[in-house]
Amino acid sequence: MDNNKKLLFVKDGVDVFIQRNSNYSESGNPADGFRTSVYKHFESNMRVVVCRTSSPVFTLNIYVPTASTNDKGIPHTLEHLVFSGSKRYPTRGYMDALAAHNYSVGINAWTSVDHTCYTLAAAAEDAVANVLPVYLDHILNPLLHNEHFVTEVYHYDETGKEKGVVFSEMTMYENNEMARGYYRLNGLMYNPSATYMHCNGGRTGDISKLTNEEIIDYHRKYYDANNVTVVLTGTFSDEFEETYLQTIPPDIVQSRGCDSRAFMDCSPRRDGHLRHDSLRFPSSNASSGSINFGWHGPEHQD
């Protein structure tokens, strides 16, 4: 490597050996665990964590912290829209084709209550390296066109019925006994301002009021390189950092200065009160139901 060239990612501390019993050390037996290296972007808080496991499958997971302040499901809708094209790669479906060409089992994603994760599994490290910059461009620089919003999120079809990939998905979810019980339980356990209070997938009545401008604003706040953590697992070579990480186009991972990791309200209700509620909904079987219960554990620092 040219020593005069500025590195895009620099080593963040020493390698850590993670053993199967969850102990951490700077050395260890490879048969009992794996070595982990952390690389940090030279000017932002973006990190790449390389876990050199013995698995024959190479995995890529890109994490973005995403909070909800309402039930419009903005994190979930944005997850869908990310795959509709980016500034460098505007053709919809390009990333799927690239992943298939690189012997991948496909790209996928999920939205949780406090983060969104974009995934890939492939048979070789160069396959992961080929997809990584394209994936990052879709995540950090998506097109977010209005026509994509109409198709993926919400619209009326020619018969006047409410449609949209996200809207239809959440329509099925809202009629799920487990899901409805889960969100009602969270409403009892967390403060009204907590992200866990809200339906991160979105409620259909609120999705219908969502606008593409709100999604664009949300992306600007949360989807910044400052907030992104990339986790790679597999038998990655020691040359992966020099050969692949340093060759990611710098403009793709350029931070706009936003940092949404500074604070995310996850506060539970801690007034000592026992809360309970009943939830009724139509069912083909009136002879059985379900019970959800939860409790607060110790603080995460304990």
Task: Annotate 214-253 with b (16+ C-beta within 10 A) or e (fewer).
Answer: ebeebbeebbbbbbbbbbbbbebeeebbeebbbebeeebb
d(CA 198, CA 73): 9
Instruction: Indicate whether 257 pLDDT > 60.
Output: yes
**CA of residue 51 relative to chain centroid, distance:** 19
Structure confidence by residue, pLDDT tens digits, 41-56: 999 999 999 999 998 9
pLDDT tens digits, one per residue of 203-256: 999 999 999 999 999 999 999 999 999 999 999 998 998 889 999 999 999 999
The rounded percent of the chain whose pLDDT value lies above 70 is 92
Q: What percent of the chain has pLDDT over 90?
A: 65
Q: What is the pLDDT of residues 264-300, one digit of tens each?
A: 788 888 787 888 898 887 777 777 788 888 888 877 6
Q: What is the pLDDT of residue 134?
A: 97
pLDDT of 262: 63
CB 64 within 8 A of CB 138: no
The tens digit of pLDDT for each residue in 7-39 reads 999 999 999 888 766 555 555 555 568 999 999
* pTM higher than 0.85: yes
Residue 105 predicted with pLDDT over 90: no
Relative orientation angle of helices 165-174 and 74-81, to the nearest 10 degrees: 140
